[in-house]
Structure 1
Amino acid sequence: MTRSANPGGVGRGQAARRTVLAATAAAAAAVAPGTAMATTGSAAAPEAARGRCDPLVPEPIPAQAPAREGFLDVPGARLWFWDTGGTGPAVVLVHPGSGSALSWPYQQPVFARAGYRVIAYSRRGHYNSSPPAPGNPGVGATDLHALVEHLGLRRFHLLGAALGGYYATDYALLHPGRLLSLVILSSFMGISDPEYLRVTERLRPPGFGDMPHDFLELSPYYRAANEEGNRQWKEISDRSLGGHSVEIQELSEPIDWPRLETLSVRTLLIAGDADLYLPPPILRMIAAHLPDAGTLVYSKVGHSANWERPSEFNRDVLRFWRGTRFPRESCR
């Protein structure tokens, strides 16, 4: 692994920032070194939406906290990341398969304002990171650890969403001493138990994976009530994937039930009860092998609780990071 000085990186970042601003308009965008991330909407959720579990009340994307961008060279690829900096506890966000480091505009300013150093990166082939070599997508936890070492993080909170939860789980099993906590959002967690795979695959009929990402990952409640939010989510996803599919990265080793049961990091599992991928019975199946993990299920929410219900999601994650223990099964 080498650290990239990237003498041309500033210009590339500024150009990317202009491109994203033009392409996404009201959506969140890339950051440029020493500047704030792109802003959309007001700096806070509407007053009427605060404290309510009502997915029908749209929340504008808040103004983003200042952040710098950078590039990290890893064997066979270059990864793009942003980092709000600061002296508070670090948080690393690992994006879903449909996203990138652009996928966290509702979380970045809220977590930074709460005193955390917030970091996100794009995996190989996702926005601003180089594509993987054909047949060699790399090990997701290895790339994540390279970033952790590059940024000098000693201990940190890790949050993985959907496919990103595979690599966050793998990392937590490999490096438990580096983590303050683990949050997994709507993720199969890379589990390879045959019965688990049989049940989860039965939920996805032929042609399921060919449907649009926003249909699969946003609940019908949200899509019906928030056309603009649906459009913004889709624009970020389209920008993240660049119009092509990305080969899934590998795990360091299979995650079966015995391996998962060794997870010693304080963990919170989150899902939505309208998630087409991971409905609550699947979450319970996973939690049964993590006796010390809390769970949280949001009502009328799909695969993207951080986007559909950002105020509640951010509040609950912050409470967890501050030491709150959630029960075995909690609903919102």
Structure 2
Amino acid sequence: MTNSPDPGGAHRGRVARRAVLASAAVAATAFTAEQALATPKHAEHRCGPYVPEPVPAQAPAEEGFLDVPGARLWYWDTGGDGPAVVLVHPGSGSALSWPYQQPVFARAGYRVVAYSRRGHYNSTPPEPGRPGVGADDLHALVEHLGLRRFHLLGAALGGYYATDYALRHPRRLLSLVILSSFMGISDPEYKRVTEQLRPPGFDAMPHDFLELSPHYRAANEGGARRWKEISDLSLGGHAVESQELSEPIDWTRLATLSARTLIITGDADLYLPPPVLRVVAAHLPAADTLVYHRCGHSANWERPADFNRDVLRFWSGARFRDESCR
């Protein structure tokens, strides 16, 4: 990948991206905003049997590039006059990682925006040893698009930068949703506990093995294959240096988080199992929490209808108090 994508490269990237999404897309069942906001009975949808879901046709979106110090970021934006939503992808993904969310959130009336961080699909790689501050890049995009207030959703590593942004710019957020993320927390005991969950060699294992539950991989081989295709395209066959936080996030700093917050994980998440989520929630007593049944590190992909429904309900004012399967 070169430092400045040429027009032909951008065109080839769009073709490759659409080919991957097209391979996954089939006719989707209509999913209206009213259905998305319907309150489930005793959260049965979240704990019920797994049912494979097709990727819906994508909503129209404008694509663009934003120059930031030392890099160029690629983004897409569905536009519209509704409340804005910014999606911050996991370390294994890019702006391509949201095909289940983009059309559903757009149909529910939201302006949906996603971008690729430095070194991820269609964005230039960071300068060696200078990965940049993730929250700074996010803020540059928000300012470029003229978003005054918006909902922020960060997944996994993207949750680090979303949390950092929420702490730095609390008045810009309508809400914060964090999916399966350590949130950049640097408390020594927290880090010790989470690191001991990952034995030597853990990080060298394939992303799809680490981030998709065994239940999903066994029940939906095609879906797992498509997830891997998007991840491989997002990373371009190389490792990407993680971006920096503006400052460490310890428990004291985290306690200043004022945005209305929902924290989500899956009961088969190898990174953030439910007991770790509850450690974080204990330091954020006002935060809502959700745990998905038979689900790994990628609830937005493994259980998208449930995930989308719950996020839309949260954005509309619903509360979730440790609604896990028992």
TM-score (ref. length: structure 2) = 0.92
- The amino acid that maps onto 1:42 is A
Residues 175-186 of structure 1 aligned to structure 2 (within 5 Å):
175-186=169-180
SS of corresponding position for 1:26: helix
Matched, 1:330 2:317: no
More helix by share: 2
Structure 1 residue corresponding to 2:135, chosen from 141, 152, 171: 141
1:137-191 deviations in whole A, cap 9, x for unaligned?
0000000000000000000000000000000000000000000000000000000
Residue equivalent to 2:238: 244
- The amino acid that maps onto 2:311 is V
The whole-number CA distance in structure 1 between the counterparts of 2:127 and 2:166 is 26
Contact 1:13–1:69 (CA<8 Å) still a contact in 2?
no
The whole-number CA distance in structure 2 between the counterparts of 1:57 and 1:115 is 26
Q: Report how far residue 8 of structure 1 moved.
A: 6.2
Residue equivalent to 1:307: 301
Matched, 1:233 2:227: yes
Residue equivalent to 2:50: 56
SS of corresponding position for 1:110: helix
Q: Report how far residue 192 of structure 1 moved.
A: 0.3
SS of corresponding position for 2:246: coil
Q: Report how far residue 223 of structure 1 moved.
A: 0.3
Structure 2 residue corresponding to 1:254, chosen from 220, 244, 248: 248
Q: Report how far residue 260 of structure 1 moved.
A: 0.2
Runs of 4+ in 1 over 6 A off after TM superposition: none
Residues 207-226 of structure 1 aligned to structure 2 (within 5 Å):
207-226=201-220
TM-score (ref. length: structure 1) = 0.90
Q: Report how far residue 67 of structure 1 moved.
A: 0.2
Identity %: 77
SS of corresponding position for 1:130: coil
Contact 2:94–2:120 (CA<8 Å) still a contact in 1?
yes
The whole-number CA distance in structure 1 between the counterparts of 2:5 and 2:184 is 37
The whole-number CA distance in structure 2 between the counterparts of 1:173 and 1:55 is 37
Two-structure CA RMSD over aligned residues (Å): 1.8
Q: 1:7 to 1:188 in 2, by over 3 A?
A: closer
Q: Report how far residue 208 of structure 1 moved.
A: 0.4
Residue equivalent to 2:186: 192
The whole-number CA distance in structure 1 between the counterparts of 2:50 and 2:68 is 43
SS of corresponding position for 2:61: strand
Structure 1 residue corresponding to 2:83, chosen from 83, 89, 93: 89
Q: Report how far residue 41 of structure 1 moved.
A: 1.3
Residue equivalent to 1:77: 71
